[in-house]
Amino acid sequence: MLDPYRIREDFPILKRKINDYPLIYLDNAATTQKPRQVVDAIKHFYENCNANIHRAVYTLSQESSELYESAHEDIAKFINADGMEEIIFVRGTTEAVNLVAYAWGLHNLGKEDEVMVTLMEHHSNIVPWEALSKIKGFKVRYADVNDDGTLNYESLENAVSNKTKIVCLTHVSNVTGVINDVKNVTRIAHEHGALVLVDGAQSVPHLPVDVNDLDIDFLAFSGHKMLGPTGIGVLYGKREVLEEMEPFQSGGSMIKEVTFDTTTKRCLSSWNDLPWKFEAGTPNISGGVGLMAAVRYLKDVGMQNVKAHEKKLTDRALNRMQECEKIRIYGPKDAALKCGIIPFSVDGLSSHDVALFLDSYGVMIRSGFHCAQPLHEKFKLKSSARVSFYIYNTTEEIDRLVEVLKEIEQFQ
């Protein structure tokens, strides 16, 4: 079993005090803290191996290239991809979705086509498709969400048709923590010849994710939500799909050859092999090294243990928070249906008031729309407060959260 007290020793930031109170960090859905092992890996790279990759034969460049390629290989194994060729490093989930939209969608979607999205999506899995639809003329359709925040699968299945070219959905809602049945959605989509893009920003850090078992075509996720540094993320794509796609960006590294044709007076290019075809320019090498260290850390902890620990915390939080008379919890109340995310409100207070009050006691939570305004409109909310848990959170922190929430109620 996961031991959060031992794990906490790897996170120097958790020793901080805020307003003379011990730091309680409960905004892990936004970003996670970084263990010493990740910080040390990045430091070691810059102090010992820093050089550009795939451009030189000298020792530092060879070492840097090997580290960067190893990072791709480790992430491929972590999600059970068929090889590093299916792993593209990007800045984060947002860039990964945009890569699919513009490298695949721009060349494969027309006026008669449809893209299926759900109402629980993060804005990064909505806005790119709406923006592209203005260029290409296709229709974006939305699967509905039930009152408890779960996906309405009947709505989705009824909306998917032979016009649907891609189904885009989150694996885990970043607002409610609801875990969607991706395997079932993929089956529905593939029966109609549609591809499937999964936003794994809230699932890959918290659950065992096997892309081959899910049979999805694309998976996007961010490093900073899984102990890694900011500015690095991953797009997984099935090899056969990636090979048919055009590059997202052009320039150095993503080309195999550029020649000048004396007849046409033009330069002719041929694309590089996967995954480098989609990684133009000098990449975030240190970010890749840091993400590799984060993945190795999580592998040592065990993703089943991560999932079980978060369920334990979520169970306790749901039960304890319901002791509060003026707290309204949104989404499912069954921890088995979700990851460690709980949105809530306090009667008579805005979410920002709640967050500021908690902050005065050293408790860090998120407030606002959480980049998912359509779902908040579904719940008829102007905003919500949100707590989200990770491997270093403890039951004592949950109890302290509830103590402070009960103090907030005294001011109402």
Is residue 312 domain-shared with residue 262, that is, in the same domain? Answer: no
CATH assignment of the domain containing 277: 3.40.640.10
Is residue 292 domain-shared with residue 150, that is, in the same domain? Answer: yes
Number of domains present in the structure of the chain = 2
Q: Which residue has the tokens 């936003």?
A: 199
Is residue 109 domain-shared with residue 15, that is, in the same domain? Answer: no
Is residue 108 domain-shared with residue 50, that is, in the same domain? Answer: yes
pLDDT at 146: 94
Active site residue 339: no
The pair of three-digit structure tokens given for residue 73, joined into one six-digit string: 């290989």
Is residue 180 domain-shared with residue 320, that is, in the same domain? Answer: no
pLDDT at 412: 64
Give the domain extent around 395: 4-30+302-410
Tell me if 52 sits within 8 A of 61, measured CB to CB.
Answer: yes
Is residue 87 domain-shared with residue 199, that is, in the same domain? Answer: yes
Is residue 291 domain-shared with residue 311, that is, in the same domain? Answer: no
Is residue 258 domain-shared with residue 402, that is, in the same domain? Answer: no
pLDDT at 250: 81
Single residue among 299, 331, 358 that ends a domain in this structure: 299
Single residue among 299, 318, 337 that ends a domain in this structure: 299
CATH assignment of the domain containing 316: 3.90.1150.10
Q: Which of 49, 168, 339, 371 is catalytic?
A: 371
Write the DSSP string, 53-116.
SSS--SHHHHHHHHHHHHHHHHHHHHTT-S-GGGEEEESSHHHHHHHIIIIIIHHH--TT-EEE
The residues of the chain scoring below 50 in pLDDT are none
**Beta strands 218-222; 233-237: pairing state:** antiparallel
Handedness of CA 221, 222, 225, 227 (dihedral sign): positive
116 phi and psi angles, rounded to 5 deg: -100, 130
Tell me if 155 sits within 8 A of 143, measured CB to CB.
Answer: yes
Single residue among 299, 333, 355 that ends a domain in this structure: 299
List C-alpha distances in Å: 206 to 48, 92, 252, 294, 384.
32, 17, 35, 13, 22
Distance CA 335, CA 326 (A): 21
Write the DSSP string, 317-340.
HHHHHTT-TTEEE-S-S-GGGB-S
Length of the chain in residues, anyone?
Answer: 412
Query: Taking the model in full, what pTM does it have?
Result: 0.96
pLDDT at 178: 97
Is residue 137 domain-shared with residue 212, that is, in the same domain? Answer: yes
Is residue 159 domain-shared with residue 249, that is, in the same domain? Answer: yes
Closest listed residue to residue 140, CA positions, set 125, 157, 158: 125
Is residue 233 domain-shared with residue 329, that is, in the same domain? Answer: no
Is residue 124 domain-shared with residue 241, that is, in the same domain? Answer: yes
